[in-house]
Amino acid sequence: MKIGAKGKKILTKVGLELTRINFVMDYFLKWGEKEILKQLVVKNERGRPIGAQEEKYYVVTNLMKAFEKKLKENALAPTVRDWVFNKLIGDIILNWADNHPEAAERRKKELALPQFMTISPTQMCNLACTGCYAASSKKTAVTLDYDILDKVIEQKRDLWGSHFTVISGGEPLLYKSKGKTILDLFEKYNDNFFLFYTNGTLIDKTMAQKIASLGNVSPAISVEGFEEETDARRGKGVYKKILEAIENLKEAGVFYGISFTATRNNVDKILNDEFVDEFFGERGAAFAWMFQYMPIGRGPDFDLMITPEQRRNLWFQERHIIKDKGVFFIDFWNGGPISDGCISAGRKGGYLYMDWHGNMMPCVFIPYTVGNVKTDFFDKGKDLNDVLETTFFTKLRKWQENYSYKKLSSEAGNEIVPCPIRDHHAEFNKIARDSDATPVGKTAERSFKDEEFIKDFDEIGKKVAEATKDLWETEYQKIKTKEPSKAQ
Ligand code: SF4
């Protein structure tokens, strides 16, 4: 018997409604976990390093468990639950191929197919943190036109079937254009999930309620550890405001997380067990993103970068957080094995970045553009697919494939150092120089041709590769177990 689209919809609705019953939900999640384990670790059809498959299993199921815990504690606004079960699972995931035949075709052909975009709609910020990658402050008021933002979100959904958008800073809650705020965008694109990075200082009770009422939005609040470290980088009094924001979000039932930037000065203090237990215990954070300071943006400084030894030590602590503490935790660099290496330049399952001017870039941390989305693409009758076809993007994806993405486990390059610009700077620089990339900003311009800078940056990458080589070989490539240990 063939079930029509209407029948399918009714069945999905009934199934999802059943998950409101606790034991049905338990069964559903357990089945999901087993399926993920089977696909990633047992089958491992792409022959990826088994340790990386195991880590993917942990992070995905950690997120599922965080969500389940909140549901059972009745800690989520009804809008959040409904969005996840009805919109995300019912409409988006189960019907993805039917709704996006062109994207499904691209997926089949292994063409570039980004899963999400990160967009910084405004450079403006009410803080001015040390070493901000965006060089944001109150004085930097550059803002993207709302119509452009709108068109980009629409195109990425229609061309790539992408329903996930990351909004970065400046401070997104300060965005205003044509009478619209960022919340208007979240509301209009109810078929997108929005993760937005925020300094948290503008999330009062009213704002928290507004975010909760949307259901498709999750903030990641930037902290640098406890009060001393946070206020040292972000300004006096900021930590207290962050704690207030967290209470407001919890009260409103928002699914929220945190993000950190590790510098040489704070890396040994953030992420200790006390911090993790507090933020993922009583404060109720559900996920965490870790950035390591990059010498781009305001006042680039190699001395703020974490040392190769610190990066190695960080790897151990991060694995402890993921496997023993059961937290959804991703480090953009050390977490390379979880994402099969670098995900920039619109790689399949990856992403690309657009800044407040509309500059199209492969990644937030690659300050080189292939052009402005309006003047170089839309105004010339081109679309977002044309961004993916530029030489710079194409060459970067080729680099990713050759380094590790398309390699079997035994031949894959060390994915703890996955980053072309940070970990393999000389190779990156050659790609950028031999393509249609233009540096954005004075620092990028200077470093583009500064042989000393290129050499120093490359040297750091080589040292990190050396410091993590044994981990890559023993913990990822040659690991013997076929199933994750029962750590959780
Ligand atoms: S370029 Fe570097 S930071 Fe960006 S996605 Fe790739 S590995 Fe991550």
- Phi/psi for 294 (5° steps) reads -115, 140
> What is the number of domains present in the chain?
1
- Ligand 1 atom closest to Cα of residue 400: 6
Closest among 464, 414, 185 to 314, alpha carbons compared: 464
Averaged over 268-282, what is the pLDDT? 89
Look at residue 30 in the predicted model and tell me its pLDDT. Answer: 86
- Ligand 1 atom closest to Cα of residue 364: 4
- Phi/psi for 128 (5° steps) reads -145, 75
Look at residue 27 in the predicted model and tell me its pLDDT. Answer: 83
Contacts of 45 (CB under 8 A, 6+ apart): 39
- Ligand 1 atom closest to Cα of residue 351: 5
Going through 336-432 in order, the beta strands assigned E by DSSP cover 351-354, 360-361, 368-369
Contacts of 265 (CB under 8 A, 6+ apart): 304
CA of 343 to the centre of ligand 1 (A): 6
Structure tokens at 179: 């009478």
* CB atoms near residue 301 (< 10 Å): 13
State whether the beta carbon of 393 lies less than 6 angstroms from ligand 1: no
State whether the beta carbon of 41 lies less than 6 angstroms from ligand 1: no
* CB atoms near residue 432 (< 10 Å): 22
Domain with 232 in it: 1-488
CA distance 435 to 430: 9
Averaged over 277-284, what is the pLDDT? 93
Average pLDDT, the chain: 90
Helix (H, G, I), strand (E, B) or coil at 328: strand
DSSP state of 135: -
Residues facing residue 195 across a β-bridge:
166, 218
* Location of structure tokens 């069964």: 27
pLDDT at 339 over 90: yes
State whether the beta carbon of 416 lies less than 6 angstroms from ligand 1: no
- Ligand 1 atom closest to Cα of residue 366: 1
Q: Are 198 and 223 in contact (CB under 8 A)?
A: no
Look at residue 478 in the predicted model and tell me its pLDDT. Answer: 79
> Which residue has its alpha carbon closest to ligand 1 atom 2?
419
**Which is higher by pLDDT, 400 or 222?**
400
CATH number of the domain enclosing 200 = 3.20.20.70
Structure tokens at 285: 């954070």
79-132 tens-digit pLDDT: 998 898 888 888 888 889 889 999 999 999 989 999 999 999 998 888 777 666
213-261 tens-digit pLDDT: 999 999 999 988 888 888 887 788 889 999 999 999 999 999 999 998 8
CA distance 92 to 111: 21
Chain-centroid distance, C-alpha 364: 10
- Phi/psi for 339 (5° steps) reads -110, 20
Look at residue 3 in the predicted model and tell me its pLDDT. Answer: 58
> Which residue has its alpha carbon closest to ligand 1 atom 4?
363
Residues facing residue 218 across a β-bridge:
195
State whether the beta carbon of 365 lies less than 6 angstroms from ligand 1: yes
CA of 362 to the centre of ligand 1 (A): 8
98-112 tens-digit pLDDT: 899 999 999 999 899
357-372 tens-digit pLDDT: 999 999 999 999 999 9
Q: What percent of the chain has pLDDT over 70?
A: 91
Look at residue 487 in the predicted model and tell me its pLDDT. Answer: 38
371-393 tens-digit pLDDT: 999 999 999 999 999 999 999 99
CA of 473 to the centre of ligand 1 (A): 21
CA distance 7 to 20: 21
| Helix 101-108 with 146-160: angle, nearest 10 deg | 60
State whether the beta carbon of 162 lies less than 6 angstroms from ligand 1: no
Select from 166, 330, 343, 457 the residue to mutate for testing ligand 1; criterion: most ligand atoms less than 8 Å from CB.
343
The CA angle 132-434-121, to the nearest 5 degrees, is 30
CA distance 129 to 7: 54
Q: Is 463 exposed, middle or buried (0-12, 13-18, 19+ CB in 10 A)?
A: middle
State whether the beta carbon of 287 lies less than 6 angstroms from ligand 1: no
Look at residue 488 in the predicted model and tell me its pLDDT. Answer: 39
Supply the DSSP string of 168-237, one letter for each residue.
-SS-GGG-EETTEEHHHHHHHTTTSEEEEEE-STT--HHHHHHHHHHSSEEEEEE--SSHHHHHHHH-TT
pLDDT at 302 over 90: no
Look at residue 227 in the predicted model and tell me its pLDDT. Answer: 84
State whether the beta carbon of 419 lies less than 6 angstroms from ligand 1: yes
CA distance 470 to 458: 20
CA of 104 to the centre of ligand 1 (A): 25
Q: Are 354 and 119 in contact (CB under 8 A)?
A: yes
Look at residue 486 in the predicted model and tell me its pLDDT. Answer: 43
CA of 177 to the centre of ligand 1 (A): 30
Closest among 398, 397, 418, 287 to 340, alpha carbons compared: 418
Pairing of strands 351-354, 116-119: parallel
Averaged over 163-169, what is the pLDDT? 94
**Which is higher by pLDDT, 45 or 248?**
248
Q: Could you report how far apart the first and last alpha carbons of the chain are, in Å? A: 42
pLDDT at 43 over 80: yes
